[in-house]
Chains A and B, each alone.
Chain A
Amino acid sequence: MDALYNILDNLYHMTAFSDIIAANGTFIIMYLLAFVLLYLGIVKHFEPLLLIPIAFGVLIANFPGGEMGVYQADEAGCIRDAAGNVLAENIWEMSLPAIAHELGLMNFLYYMLIKTGFLPPVIFMGVGALTDFGPMLRNLKLAIFGAAAQLGIFAVLLVAVGSGFFTIKEAAALGIIGGADGPTAIFTTIKLAPHLLAPIAIAAYSYMALVPVIIPLVVKLLCSKKELMINMKEQDKLFPPKNKMKNEKIIKIIFPIAVTTIVALLVPSAVSLIGMLMFGNLLKEIGSDTARLFDTISNAVMNTCTVFLGLCVGATMTVQAFLNWTTIGIVVGGFFAFGLSIASGICMVKVWNCFSKKKINPLIGATGLSAVPMASRVCNLISTQYDPKNHVLNYCMSSNVAGVIGSAVAAGVLISFLQNTTF
């Protein structure tokens, strides 16, 4: 009888039932969240390439007994479990095999790939390979709206700090959601507030997926029908651009090299993002000589990185890291950062139109945040609703691509100012 009891007891402890009964039940909330994210990714097709790995990361990180959740180290590098027991005295002195052995696979991946800041710049390299700077070079003046649209980042940073709810580093990580650029948001958060990585990544990618909802909402609030019917092609006929490219290929090859050099001189902390973006773009623009490299970084490398980034970010979403008021603050603040970025781009176009003879459709300002190319596609759709012949896609892509550079520069400024401060 005792032998049978022992066997059943061993079986009970082998399965997860003992851990489920010992757990306090909050993991079910995380499970529901994972299912919601999976639903959004699989059924609603909201950023499926990232939301599905993130959701699955949440799923495997929160199952009791699975030991797949990522533990966040405190400033001294000490790692504790939910009960406060010390798991590692100083993770920064541990070797990667020791992390893998003592803290599990997900912690190994997280501390090797995410915490080192490795993945976001590599993904940026892939983004660069998929970005065409042609529309921006053809409409260079419109790139300035990519700068205006970064106001949301700093406005939300200011409000978040003023609320007293966030430290200045946390507020900066929250504000960068307004840049509408996933890798930039993750990179900045890793540097400034790594304990907020999960909610910020989720908020950033969720709002990017909601661009088709948020942009029309802000545009309806701020733009008149007359403004939305401004036809950019007609404006180009009335006021033709002065500099037409006669040799686009050469310009597109020199451009990424020149921009990297300028950014490296002025904001060196943004080089890891801008440099990789431009390197990817350069490989694309060179053409057949680097076609194999271009193919690798825009497919194999980028997809591999996306898988591990998604899984690791999902695995940081444990009960103790996610279920708190800070997460709600991030969700609300992120929305305002996003909305303000769109609004500030639109407002700058309106100011521009007051002083310029050549009128600009305010939708071009709305695409000043990143979210390439979805923001441009959404704005093109809005403009064609008012005038079926008014295609603004190419013009929007100019400020949209400039927004990628703008948000990376903003991230560089935040990191260089705050990384070593004790605010």
Chain B
Amino acid sequence: MITNDIFGALQLMAVGMLTVFCILIIVILLGTLLIKLVNKYAPEEVQAKKPVAAANNAVAAIDATTKAVIDATVAQITGGKGRVAKITKL
């Protein structure tokens, strides 16, 4: 009985790992294909990049690590959609 179960477990291990790898490889290929297609047929990114450039001078006074932390926090909270326009010391 245990031998049967071990054989079943080995079979599951082989099939399971193979399936997981296959699915994630397909996801990777699918993602790559999607990026290529979208880049080719709908490349425009609607992003307000100017405020960032304008804000650069204001940010200069703040050290790079602090800015990186603020940028990362804003990106995480807004799901990558938010931009830091201005940083002022209170």
Partners in one complex: yes
Give residues in A with beta carbon < 8 Å to B. Answer: 132, 134, 136-137, 140-141, 143-144, 146-147, 150-151, 153-155, 157-158, 161-162, 164, 167-168, 171-172, 243-251, 254-255, 258-259, 262-263, 266-267, 284, 391, 393, 402, 405-406, 409-410, 413-414, 417-418, 421, 423
Closest 5 CB pairs of A and B: A154-B13, A246-B43, A161-B9, A147-B24, A413-B16
For A136, the closest partner residue in chain B by CB is B31
Is A405 a contact of B9 with CB atoms below 8 Å?
no
Could you say which of A158, A162, A247, A258 has the most chain B C-beta atoms within 10 Å of its C-beta?
A: A247
Is B13 a contact of A157 with CB atoms below 8 Å?
yes
Complex Cα distance A405/B28, Å? 12
Complex Cα distance A91/B55, Å? 66
Contacts of A171 in B (CB 8 A): 5, 9
Contacts of B6 in A (CB 8 A): 158, 161-162
Answer whether A259 and B30 are a contact pair too, CB < 8 Å, given A144-B21, A248-B80, A251-B35. yes
Complex Cα distance A136/B35, Å? 12
Known: A140-B35, A143-B24, A267-B19. 20 other contacts (CB 8 A): A137-B31, A140-B32, A143-B27, A150-B17, A150-B20, A154-B12, A157-B9, A158-B13, A161-B6, A168-B5, A243-B35, A246-B45, A247-B43, A247-B45, A254-B34, A255-B31, A258-B30, A262-B26, A413-B15, A421-B8
Interface of A is mostly: helix
What is the size category of the interface that chain B forms with chain A? Answer: 35 or more
Give residues in B with beta carbon < 8 Å to A. Answer: 2, 4-6, 8-10, 12-13, 15-17, 19-28, 30-32, 34-36, 38-39, 42-46, 68, 72, 79-80
Contacts of B22 in A (CB 8 A): 266
Task: Please list 19 pairs of residues, one from A and one from B, whose beta carbons are closer than 8 Å in the complex, sorted by A's number.
Answer: A132-B79, A143-B27, A144-B28, A147-B25, A150-B16, A154-B12, A158-B13, A161-B2, A162-B9, A168-B5, A243-B35, A246-B43, A247-B42, A259-B27, A266-B26, A393-B72, A402-B27, A409-B19, A413-B20
Complex Cα distance A141/B24, Å? 10
Contacts of A162 in B (CB 8 A): 2, 6, 9
Shortest distance from the beta carbon of B25 to any chain A beta carbon, whole Å: 7
Interface of B is mostly: helix
Answer whether A405 and B12 are a contact pair too, CB < 8 Å, given A162-B2, A246-B45, A247-B42. no
Is A137 a contact of B13 with CB atoms below 8 Å?
no
Answer whether A134 and B8 are a contact pair too, CB < 8 Å, given A247-B39, A247-B43, A409-B20. no
Contacts of B35 in A (CB 8 A): 137, 140, 243-245, 251
Answer whether A168 and B36 are a contact pair too, CB < 8 Å, given A248-B80, A405-B23. no
Complex Cα distance A410/B17, Å? 8
Shortest distance from the beta carbon of A300 to any chain B beta carbon, whole Å: 19
Complex Cα distance A52/B34, Å? 42
Answer whether A144 and B24 are a contact pair too, CB < 8 Å, given A167-B5, A249-B46, A255-B31. yes
Complex Cα distance A224/B80, Å? 33
Is B79 a contact of A141 with CB atoms below 8 Å?
no
Complex Cα distance A167/B5, Å? 8
Contacts of A172 in B (CB 8 A): 12
Complex Cα distance A251/B35, Å? 7
Contacts of B80 in A (CB 8 A): 132, 134, 248
Shortest distance from the beta carbon of A170 to any chain B beta carbon, whole Å: 10
Complex Cα distance A143/B23, Å? 11
Could you say which of B12, B20, B26, B38 has the most chain A C-beta atoms within 10 Å of its C-beta?
A: B20
Answer whether A414 and B16 are a contact pair too, CB < 8 Å, given A161-B9, A247-B43. yes
